[in-house]
Structure 1
Amino acid sequence: MNWLKNILGRLFAVYGFLLFTVTFLILFIPIWIANFMPDPQKTRYFLSLSRGWMAVYMPMIFCPVRKKGVEYFAPGQTYVVVSNHNSLVDVPVTTPGVPGVNKTLSKKEMGEVPLFGMMYKVGSVMVDRKDEASRRKCYDDMRKVLDMGIHMLLYPEGTRNRTADPLKPFYDGAFALAIEAQLPIMPSLLFHTKKILPPGKLFFALPHRIDYHFLPPVSTTGMTLEDVPMLKEKVFKLMTEYYITHQ
């Protein structure tokens, strides 16, 4: 019956894409208005739209999102939130799913996508990974975001995990950022998004429930940049063990 699953998966992908496009066009002008606002008002306004949008869109594509562990977010505390990254579905789940105001880090190319790129420019810190000056500037920009009391949401694996392993090895950036800002790391894990958009399949999708879990925060108080490898390994181990236990 693989042929039937293949046909249904492609039909579902068309449905999901068309519904995403239609709902985006309805919100196009309100999102466009955000470009003219200063932060943090701009990001707060954009997130209120995104949360309402995804609260409607995700159930309509039969991918309801269930969150666990939001009580770990202390009122008034800013975090560097780290998440695993399995699928293109991750961003529309994590960005509205993180409690409070947050930004993520996005490639410059995402901001150049016609129409849709506008969302990345509003809700993200943009970086040209091929440009060293841009990489340095984005680090400074992320520090400014944190100084405004806005969480930074980062994917320390760097790219989507297309392997069979629970997590890919982490890069240093998120952990160095948290240590320099002396802010806690908030580990988080997405479940089942790889089942919705399986790696290696072009324009194929299947509906599935999504679970988004937050783990207890990890303090960086008193740490220096010399502690980055230790902190990175500690968070990697916590997230891997949790993922294996709860997948």
Structure 2
Amino acid sequence: MAFIPVEKEWRFKLDKKQQYILCANHFSYLDIPILGLFPMAFKFVGKSSLAKIPLFGYMYRTLHITVNRSSYRSRARSLVKAREEIQKGHNLGFFPEGGIRLEKYPDMVDFKDGAFKLAVENNVPIIPVTMPDNYHILPDDDLLNIRRKKCRIIYHEPIWPSDNGDEQVKQLKEEVFRVIQTELTTADANDI
């Protein structure tokens, strides 16, 4: 809607018969619609407060999985619902940082476990997604000032769980974090 040019970079050939979990960095409110450009349908797992937005909120809570991150019960329910959607064959999309929790660009904060537990339990590959420009286009602290700049979205090679159990969840989480953070750091260095 803001006529921002978007450039998609694929680092693998997408298999539309394969089920995926998307995990992306989250520094800007622009991340949500940009992640939605993924060419396969997916259920987004995101904060419940978005369900309060007029019109959009109704569609969001009807089609996607909402979570109140301050409530243990809500987090548990959203994980159960996400598990059900995976078992139905749906793709899922996560911001594994648990919201916009930026401390210093381009450094992400630690990932939550949910997406990685689901991937390991169901042997579903995770596509790390890097959006290095959204923070510069629409910073979280300056929502009224959109800067016109090309927006890149990078879809990295899917990472498959190699085993099951808590150790595999930790390893998968660390690998996805490393892929995205390396890309963010490289992009930031190139922008200087």
TM (norm. structure 1) is 0.70
* Cα 1:162–1:209 shift into 2, 3 Å: farther
SS in 1 for 2:131: strand
Task: Tell me by how many angstroms 1:113 deviates.
Answer: 2.4
- Who is 1:220 aligned against? 161
- Who is 1:136 aligned against? 76
Q: Which amino acid aligns with 1:177?
A: L
* Cα 1:246–1:174 shift into 2, 3 Å: same
Task: Tell me by how many angstroms 1:110 deviates.
Answer: 1.4
Partners of 2:11 and 2:182 lie apart in 1 by 19
Which piece of structure 1 moves more, 209-218 or 65-74? Answer: 65-74
* Cα 1:241–1:181 shift into 2, 3 Å: same
Asked if residue 68 in structure 1 is aligned to residue 9 in structure 2, the reply is yes
Q: Which amino acid aligns with 1:103?
A: K
Task: Tell me by how many angstroms 1:71 deviates.
Answer: 4.3
Partners of 1:75 and 1:62 lie apart in 2 by 28
1:162-201 Cα offsets, whole Å, 9 max, x none, are 5223322212121111111111111011121111212322
- Who is 1:172 aligned against? 113
Asked if residue 84 in structure 1 is aligned to residue 25 in structure 2, the reply is yes
What is the correspondence of 1:189-208 to structure 2 with a 5 Å cutoff? 189-208=130-149
* Cα 1:202–1:182 shift into 2, 3 Å: closer
Residue 88 of structure 2: which of 148, 152, 170 is its match? 148
* Cα 1:202–1:189 shift into 2, 3 Å: closer
Q: Which amino acid aligns with 1:178?
A: A
Q: Which protein has the bigger helix share?
A: 1
Partners of 2:132 and 2:183 lie apart in 1 by 11
Partners of 2:32 and 2:11 lie apart in 1 by 18
- Who is 1:108 aligned against? 48
Task: Tell me by how many angstroms 1:66 deviates.
Answer: 1.0
- Who is 1:29 aligned against? none
1:134-184 Cα offsets, whole Å, 9 max, x none, are 221111111121122221100111121352233222121211111111111
1:195-232 Cα offsets, whole Å, 9 max, x none, are 12123225222221100010001111422223222221
- Who is 2:38 aligned against? 98
Partners of 2:8 and 2:106 lie apart in 1 by 23
Partners of 2:143 and 2:182 lie apart in 1 by 31
* Cα 1:86–1:118 shift into 2, 3 Å: same
Task: Tell me by how many angstroms 1:80 deviates.
Answer: 1.1
Residue 157 of structure 1: which of 92, 97, 103 is its match? 97
Is this contact kept in 2: 1:197–1:205, CA < 8 A? yes
Partners of 2:35 and 2:92 lie apart in 1 by 11
Asked if residue 187 in structure 1 is aligned to residue 128 in structure 2, the reply is yes
Is this contact kept in 2: 1:192–1:210, CA < 8 A? yes
Partners of 1:164 and 1:71 lie apart in 2 by 27
SS in 2 for 1:235: helix
Aligned length: 187
Structure number with greater CO (CA < 8 Å, separation at least 6) is: 2
* Structure number with larger C-alpha Rg: 1
1:67-86 Cα offsets, whole Å, 9 max, x none, are 11174322311111100011
